[in-house]
Amino acid sequence: MLRRVVVTGASSGIGAATVRRFAELGWETVAVARREDRLRALAAETGAHPVVCDVTDEAQVARLAAEVAETGGATGLVNNAGGALGTESVEQSSNDDWRRMFEVNVIGLRTVTAALLPVLRDGARSTGWASILNLTSTAGHDAYPGGGGYNAAKYAAHAVTNVLRLELAGEPIRVMELAPGLVHTEEFTLNRLRGDAAAAAKPYVDVEPLQAEDVARVLVGAFEQPPHVNQDLIVLRPVAQSSVFHTHRGALAPKGE
Ligand SMILES: NC(=O)c1ccc[n+]([C@@H]2O[C@H](COP(=O)([O-])OP(=O)(O)OC[C@H]3O[C@@H](n4cnc5c(N)ncnc54)[C@H](OP(=O)(O)O)[C@@H]3O)[C@@H](O)[C@H]2O)c1
């Protein structure tokens, strides 16, 4: 049975770990991002089919969909490409940052999903099923000061996921959302804080965050469920983070003696 999945944002962090995990379990993968050198290295390691594509560019996404169809089709899509820019308040933040966050986290997700749906339907016709999973964030479920454009974009991605599930009702295509909390990836916070490495290290001090591999294990686990099982929404946090506002720093220990 065809088990081939397209993963966007595969050149680093959660996306790269997801491609590795799928490959470990015998899935074929299509690894998508803008940085070709990183995709080529991942392809050499995992056997992924690399496609250089900016998900915010409709012509490039149309070429991606054609290439996926021509090289074997797909039964899965992981919309993972995304990120945050800035921690300024609503009052102080810049519309350019907001536009860039919406372009990649929301409009990119829609563009890739729309372009790949016919390919996924073909996959579902030949295998019986197809799956879509959108990477949102706990920032798509709880607002926090300084979250501004990222909160708004991930809330939107959450809403789009729910709309899509309703619109695909009656088709054998499950639509899932994975919303992680604090994940220590190499680039996410560094990009958000515009390259300030010292500031970017702070959220991960004295706490055991999720690693990209933790997210990938759970994500791929959702694809590995029997195909009629739809995990609508998976919220995944480190034990030390009980909400976006509560991160325990220091050792965890049972209460009492
Ligand atoms: N890290 C966290 O704490 C955390 C928590 C919750 C949710 N998330 C979400 O999880 C996803 C992955 O995060 P991460 O931590 O793995 O971040 P990351 O390491 O910064 O990875 C982001 C990926 O997206 C790709 N990308 C960005 N813009 C793109 C575009 N226009 N077209 C195609 N690819 C693009 C990047 O590759 P190129 O630059 O090569 O294109 C990169 O591979 C994101 O959606 C993020 O919002 C992260």
pLDDT at 134 over 70: yes
Our mutation pick for probing the ligand 1 site, out of 6, 7, 8, 12, counting the most ligand atoms within 8 A of Cβ, is: 12
DSSP string, 222-249: HHHS-TT----EEEE--TTEEETTEE--
Strands 130-135 and 76-79 come out as parallel
Whose CA is closest to 131, among 76, 68, 169? 76
**All domains in the chain, ordered by first residue:** 4-247 (3.40.50.720)
pLDDT band at 156 (very low <50, low <70, confident <90, very high): very high
DSSP string, 2-56: --EEEEESTTSHHHHHHHHHHHHTT-EEEEEES-HHHHHHHHHHH--EEEE--TT
| For residues 36-41, average pLDDT | 98
Rounded Cα distance, 216 and 82, in Å: 16
- Per-residue model confidence as pLDDT tens digits over 179-194: 999 999 999 999 999 9
pLDDT at position 150, please? Answer: 98
Rounded Cα distance, 64 and 156, in Å: 24
pLDDT at position 2, please? Answer: 79
Supply the DSSP symbol for 86: -
Say whether 113 sits in a helix, a strand or coil.
helix
Q: Is 175 in the pocket of ligand 1 (CB under 6 A)?
A: no
- Per-residue model confidence as pLDDT tens digits over 85-114: 999 999 999 999 999 999 999 999 999 999
CA distances from 18 to 47, 75, 170, 181 (A): 13, 16, 28, 17
Q: Is 185 in the pocket of ligand 1 (CB under 6 A)?
A: yes
> What is the pTM assigned to this prediction?
0.98
pLDDT band at 254 (very low <50, low <70, confident <90, very high): very high
- Per-residue model confidence as pLDDT tens digits over 109-133: 999 999 999 999 999 999 999 999 9
Residue type, 96: D
Q: Whose CA is nearest to atom 18 of ligand 1?
A: 188
Q: Is 176 in the pocket of ligand 1 (CB under 6 A)?
A: no
pLDDT at 1 over 90: no
Rounded Cα distance, 18 and 164, in Å: 22
Q: Whose CA is nearest to atom 8 of ligand 1?
A: 137
Could you tell me the distance, in angstroms and rounded to a whole number, from the CA of residue 256 to the centre of ligand 1? 41
